[in-house]
Amino acid sequence: MSYPAYVSNVSYCYDGSFRGFLCCVFESYAHRELPAAIQPPQEGQTSLFGSREIATRADRAARVAAGLHRLGAEIQACVTSGFLADEPGKDLILLRFLRCCFENGTAAAQMLARPEIAEALALARRVDNESHKYIEFLRFEQRGEMLGTVIHPRHRILPLLRGHFCSRLPEEDFMIFDATHGLAMLRKDKTVRYLQMQHYAPAPDAEEENWQALWIRFFRALAIKERRNERCQRTHAPKRYWQDMCEMQAQKRTTQPPGDVL
């Protein structure tokens, strides 16, 4: 069934949660409108348009979630990854995407000529690509009985790291602190929690520093001086990830780069 909508001059304000976003989708259908903007709290909720507070209701969120489930795994993954993006306007992009998908079914994911589809897929791809980079480049440090690390991602990718590291470290307690967004993922006693934090420093002991020194020596030993290519290195490991990689932090302490190629 098609639900035609007009572009309104109202801005939706919601609590920033995924359930809250699903309630914005419900509101769009209830009023048969496309809002001018959708604003979570972190965007300040200021607009030149009239605003409407969208309450988060479990029953409405569940109805939209059930419809999303029927659209299939590919569209679900696009919405859940895209929602983790830290980009202004991403909520409206995803709402337009969902309306198109509800109208056209699972085939909508292949309609790349439509801007609402292409924008949402590109948004989700940026988030997924960053999470894959951190799976490759994330470095844990030992702190007492727990592993810990600090990362500086552009997007809120901690939920996308959860499955990988919980399966790779099934018997370990660990914490990944997202310093950009002040959020930590703590896995302790095989239970995962998300915590709001302002600061976290692993503070490695002497044994951990020795392991890091050994890793840096191994990293240097792999390098071939004659094939040194810093541009290639930056292509495979962009510089914005270096601050979270112990082998690259060594460049601040020495005049000789720790590695030449990746």
> What tens digit of pLDDT does each residue of 146-189 get?
888 899 999 999 999 999 999 999 999 999 999 999 999 999 99
The yes-or-no verdict on residue 257 having pLDDT over 60 is no
B/e letters for 56-78, b = 16+ CB within 10 Å, e = fewer, are: beeebbebbeebbeebeeebeeb
**Looking at residue 193, what is its pLDDT?**
95
Calpha distance 250→215 (Å, rounded): 11
Counting runs of H as helices and runs of E as strands, what totals does the chain give? Answer: 9, 10
**Pick from 25, 113, 114, 116: nearest CA to 78:** 116
Give the range among 12-21, 37-46, 100-109, 136-145 with minimum mean pLDDT: 37-46
Task: Kindly list the structural domains of the chain, giving each domain's residue range(s) and its CATH number in brackets, ordered by start.
Answer: 6-129 (no CATH), 138-196 (3.40.1620), 206-252 (no CATH)
Reported confidence tier of residue 8, pLDDT bands at 50, 70, 90: confident
Helix (H) or strand (E) holding 142: strand 141-143
Query: Whats the size of the chain, residue-wise?
Result: 262
* Contact assessment for residue 140 and residue 151, using Cβ atoms and an 8 Å cutoff: no
Calpha distance 119→177 (Å, rounded): 29
Calpha distance 31→4 (Å, rounded): 10
The yes-or-no verdict on residue 10 having pLDDT over 60 is yes
More confident: 141 or 6: 141
The yes-or-no verdict on residue 131 having pLDDT over 70 is yes
Reported confidence tier of residue 77, pLDDT bands at 50, 70, 90: very high
**Looking at residue 243, what is its pLDDT?**
76
Per residue in 20-64, pLDDT tens? 999 999 999 999 999 999 998 876 656 666 788 999 999 999 999
**Looking at residue 184, what is its pLDDT?**
94
Per residue in 180-217, pLDDT tens? 999 999 999 989 999 998 877 766 677 667 777 777 77
The yes-or-no verdict on residue 228 having pLDDT over 70 is yes
**Looking at residue 203, what is its pLDDT?**
63
* Contact assessment for residue 8 and residue 36, using Cβ atoms and an 8 Å cutoff: yes
In three-state secondary structure terms, 178 is: strand
Reported confidence tier of residue 128, pLDDT bands at 50, 70, 90: very high
**Looking at residue 259, what is its pLDDT?**
44
Residue 51 phi/psi, 5-degree rounding, is -115, 155
* Proportion of the chain above pLDDT 70, given as a percent: 86
In three-state secondary structure terms, 25 is: helix
